[in-house]
Structure 1
Amino acid sequence: MSRSLLRPLPRPGATRTLLCLSFCGGGTASFRPWAEALPPDVELVLYCYPGREGRYTVPFAADWNALLTDALDAVRTVAAERPYLLLGHSMGAWVAFDLTCRLEAGAGTPPRTLIASGADSPVRWAEKRRETPTSADTDEELLTWMSTVGQLSDAVLAEPELRAMAVEVFRADLHASDGYRYREGITVRTPLQVLYGADDDLEDPATGWRPLAAGEFRADVLPGGHFYTPEVWARLPEAVAALHPAAAGNRG
């Protein structure tokens, strides 16, 4: 299997897959505990962006299209196995949205559900490029932002080498995301669920994402900030309506 995909708890007999895409500067570690929060018929598969963890020797994606091309290969691998749901957090939500657009346009099999977590609507791409954090920020500014939202552990903050690596990965992902452009009028037919923290600094995600859904839409606000509360984050798949049919009513 490609080193871009990690299966924390392999379930070869599963009937569905939850494929997750990380936030800017992130890897797979924050998502691995989710395997224990999934129904027994669902396998957790994590996509690892280039330049980190098991793909440390792979060059960072040069731009947005390179990142999407790499991610698309991973999605096709997962889609060939069984039906899947696609979840992206923060930058990963935009990656997941763009991937779904490309898949619906003929690049492969779209997910059964798209879950956008902790992200402003892609319609705001121009505004987001002018807001902190940006790839032009200093190392200290990037560290401050990551620390404020809870993206860095105390262990990383305590080690200069780990801090430098975290900034390098974060800046590389910011540079790639600078190339994203939302094309006016683009929507997805795939059912879309939006998750966001009550205390996150986002501009009304429910309203912003709603026009991008040509099909079913649902928005759920959860306790906490950009990464919710530790308790909510640890079991975030429990908030994914498509994984739990009894809770799948539309809240859009």
Structure 2
Amino acid sequence: MSKIKLLCLPYAGGSAQVFLDWKRDLHADIELIPVELPGRGKRFGEPLRSDFNELVEDIYQSIKNEINSGPYFFFGHSMGSLIVFEVMRRLKVENQPMPMCCIFSGKNPPHVSLRNHIHELDDEEFLAKIFGYGGIPAEMLTNKELASIFLPIIRSDFQAIELYEPPAEREQMDCPFIVFYGTEDSYVSTDLVKEWSLYTTGGCEWYAYNGGHFFIQEQREQVIKQLNSILDGIKTRL
């Protein structure tokens, strides 16, 4: 049997390179495909996309070949979850192959808007706000050279997600959903996260992890163990 592709999309300000170290612990029949966003990592020289629709179109175009060459599933964390959701809507419209499963991590469902818009704050205030999310190196607050590289990326990402408009109707996907969330994540509601089920006819499961917004780093071993278990379930349906 061919490998099942795992397409991973990162959080705001992040690079797909954060998923590379998962490879050594994922089952051998999972082909890890970190999906890089424009303006960072191996795509550092490309222009950033601060318009969410343009960002989704970019990712859709970049993965079309991957999803047409065998079974696959998505994993998106935080902003990556929202990108995955909108890419799936595009796949449905274009009658493209849908994933065997879709895993949304660290994100409220699309109709739950962000409480605050911070992308217009000055650099100092903006840094202080995003530092509260965790996952941001402490030297970012003191190293101006590092901040000058990182700030435009994460500001662009926050502009994209803060100005995102969810679909007027809660369109449903014919695809199983799985939702990961941190029990101490102050940016995700343990009640509202259940409403991801409104967007699928394929059933929805939830897995809670100890930790905050970046529980995928704090509970890396448990997260990968669950991904391997999900893969085992998918293989039985192929």
2:137 corresponds to which of 153, 163, 166: 153
Rate the CA distance shift 1:133–1:144 in 2: closer, same or farther, 3 A: farther
Q: Secondary structure at the match of 2:220?
A: helix
Gaps of 5+ in 2: none
| Matching of residues 4-43 of structure 1 within 5 Å | 15-43=3-31
Q: What corresponds to 1:192 in structure 2?
A: 177
* Distance of 2:84 and 2:98 partners within structure 1: 10
1:223 corresponds to which of 194, 197, 210: 210
Q: Secondary structure at the match of 1:98?
A: helix
* Distance of 2:55 and 2:95 partners within structure 1: 15
1:106 deviates by 2.3
- Answering whether residue 76 of structure 2 is matched by residue 88 of structure 1, we say yes
- Answering whether residue 42 of structure 2 is matched by residue 58 of structure 1, we say no
Q: What corresponds to 1:8 in structure 2?
A: none
Rate the CA distance shift 1:229–1:48 in 2: closer, same or farther, 3 A: closer
* Distance of 1:73 and 1:35 partners within structure 2: 24
Say which is worse superposed, 106-115 or 145-154, in terms of deviation: 145-154
Gaps of 5+ in 1: 1-12
Q: What corresponds to 2:196 in structure 1?
A: 209
| TM value normalised by structure 1 | 0.83
| Matching of residues 41-52 of structure 1 within 5 Å | 41-52=29-40
Q: Partner amino acid for 2:122?
A: T
Q: What corresponds to 1:237 in structure 2?
A: 224
- Native 8 Å contact 2:107 2:193 kept in 1: no
1:224 deviates by 0.3
1:140 deviates by 2.1
Q: Partner amino acid for 2:103?
A: I
| TM value normalised by structure 2 | 0.88
1:80 deviates by 2.5
1:14 deviates by 5.1
Q: Partner amino acid for 2:33?
A: V
Rate the CA distance shift 1:50–1:229 in 2: closer, same or farther, 3 A: closer
User: Aligned residues, how many?
Assistant: 231
- Answering whether residue 149 of structure 2 is matched by residue 165 of structure 1, we say yes
Say which is worse superposed, 40-49 or 146-155, in terms of deviation: 146-155
- Native 8 Å contact 1:21 1:93 kept in 2: yes
Identical positions, percent? 27
Say which is worse superposed, 230-239 or 220-229, in terms of deviation: 230-239
